[in-house]
Amino acid sequence: MPPSAFASSRPLAPEDLEHAPVRYPRPSRLRAPLKVEGAKARQAAESLGLLTVGQLLEHLPRDRREARGVAQLVAGESATVVVQVRSIASRQVRRRGMRPLVQATVADDTGTMRATFFNQPWLVEKYRPGTRLVLHGKFDGRDRFTVQAHALTAEASTGGDAVAHYPATEGLSSTQILALARKHRGAIADVLEPLPAKLRACERLPDLAAALTAGHFPGPDGD
């Protein structure tokens, strides 16, 4: 069987090997402090152990599921859906301690539901009616969906209608972590390879940089 690119079924051609990029890792750049905007988000990043750029790159998504139809959602379960925005509006929550809400009516070919985004009022301008979204979150069984991660379909994984779901916490959402990963994608070239080349060749293993890239940003055949 001919060798193939990692996370892809495409066979490698001789020119792929001849023109493969040469990396000159600078691991010191991975120790650079991770810059996160906002005091609350910085504290949340620290609680997740995300203090440096290197720690961010090692913080891989645990979920990149294929989408379900709205009518297939099960109460209490997390799921990914691909929907179109029908309407969207922000809500002023007057109770102390309550976060600002954005509620959108979204639909696919199987049904309609109301999606709730917390603490992201700018989404009213970004996700206008007619916008297609990939959402990951929890369905409560009453046509309500609490969004944990979201992206425009054009920004979602090139592997299809899936969205990365990172381990997150209050103050730093999965979507914010994905944005940070995109910002620091170039730093993946600075990771040091822990395995000998001979072992990787014998076991058909990717190098660490390829594995991290596929984990955060899988290609058309990626998982």
What's the rounded mean pLDDT across residues 170-182?
88
In a domain, 1, yes or no: no
Q: How confident is the model at residue 195 (pLDDT cuts 50, 70, 90)?
A: confident
User: From CA 177, how far away is CA 59, in angstroms rounded?
Assistant: 9
Full residue range of the structural domain in which residue 132 is found:
70-164
pLDDT digits (tens, 9 = 90+) for 91-127: 876 665 556 799 999 999 999 999 999 888 899 999 9
Q: Is 199 found in the same domain as 126?
A: no
Do residues 161 and 82 make contact, with C-beta atoms less than 8 angstroms apart?
A: yes
Element (H, E) at 216: helix 208-216
Query: Using CB atoms within 10 A of its CB, is residue 214 exposed (0-12), middle (13-18) or buried (19+)?
Result: buried
Q: Is 128 found in the same domain as 198?
A: no
Q: Is 110 found in the same domain as 86?
A: yes
In a domain, 104, yes or no: yes
Considering the entire predicted model, what is its pTM? Answer: 0.60
Q: How confident is the model at residue 128 (pLDDT cuts 50, 70, 90)?
A: very high
Q: Which two tokens stand for residue 16?
A: 């792929």
pLDDT digits (tens, 9 = 90+) for 132-175: 998 988 999 888 999 988 888 765 544 444 567 788 888 888 88
As for how many domains the chain has, the answer is: 2
In a domain, 56, yes or no: yes
Is the pLDDT assigned to residue 188 strictly greater than 70? yes
User: From CA 24, how far away is CA 190, in angstroms rounded?
Assistant: 7
pLDDT digits (tens, 9 = 90+) for 26-76: 878 899 999 999 999 999 999 999 999 999 999 988 766 677 899 999 999
